[in-house]
């Protein structure tokens, strides 16, 4: 496993910092977030030091998403929340605070006011603009038919 000095999550993976472990396998670790607005806020991380999902290989990506799925189901069964938020922040502008990839699985309750996706209703561009944006993204995907 790759490890980054001065990374709190790498220290947790190495067993140098204590965490309340929810799930662990060869590639992934899931543990309770220190902040619990609602019971059931879990972080799912790759054990290797990767900054965000853009650095995942297919195996790590599959392992992380499998763990997110399992943890999401378990949080739902354990706490019966009204809903869940599953999110991954990338970079300062995206709100990332620890630069080791982590997916939040957070129990949500009606009216808790946490993490609203938009400050107001987003614009809805015309279909032609959405098609143009999709084409621009597709141009940067590897090995896909155009």
Q: What pairing do the DSSP bridges indicate for beta strands 21-24 and 28-32?
A: antiparallel
Residue 122 domain flag: no
Residue 21 domain flag: yes
Interatomic CA distance for residues 121 and 14, integer angstroms:
43
pLDDT of residue 69: 98
Residues forming beta bridges with residue 105, ordered by sequence position: 42, 86
CATH number at residue 26: 3.30.428.10
Element (H, E) at 23: strand 21-24
Residue 97 domain flag: yes
Catalytic residue among 88, 100, 102, 104: 102
Contacting residues for 102 by C-beta, under 8 A, at least 6 apart: 9, 43, 44, 45, 88
Residue 23 domain flag: yes
Interatomic CA distance for residues 144 and 146, integer angstroms:
6
Q: Give residue 67's domain range.
A: 8-117
Residue 100 domain flag: yes
User: pLDDT by residue (tens digit) across 51-87?
Assistant: 999 999 999 999 999 999 999 999 999 999 999 999 9
Residue 126 domain flag: no
- Number of domains making up the chain: 1
Q: Is 140 a catalytic residue?
A: no
Backbone angles phi, psi at 48, to 5 degrees: -70, 145
pTM of the model: 0.90
Residue 135 domain flag: no
pLDDT of residue 54: 97
């Amino acid at each position: 496993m790759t490890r980054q000095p001065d990374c709190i999550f790498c220290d947790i993976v190495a067993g140098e910092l204590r965490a309340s472990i929810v799930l662990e396998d060869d590639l992934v670790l899931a543990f309770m977030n220190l902040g619990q607005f609602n019971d059931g806020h879990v972080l799912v991380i790759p054990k290797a030091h990767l900054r965000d999902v853009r650095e995942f290989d297919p195996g790590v990506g599959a392992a992380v998403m499998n763990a997110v799925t399992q943890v999401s189901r378990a949080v739902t069964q354990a706490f019966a929340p009204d809903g869940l938020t599953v999110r991954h922040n990338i970079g300062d502008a995206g709100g990332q605070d620890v630069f080791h990839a982590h997916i939040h699985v957070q129990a949500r309750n009606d009216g808790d006011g946490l993490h609203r996706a938009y400050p107001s209703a987003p614009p809805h561009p015309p279909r032609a603009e959405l098609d143009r944006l999709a084409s621009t993204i597709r141009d940067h995907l590897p090995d896909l038919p155009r």
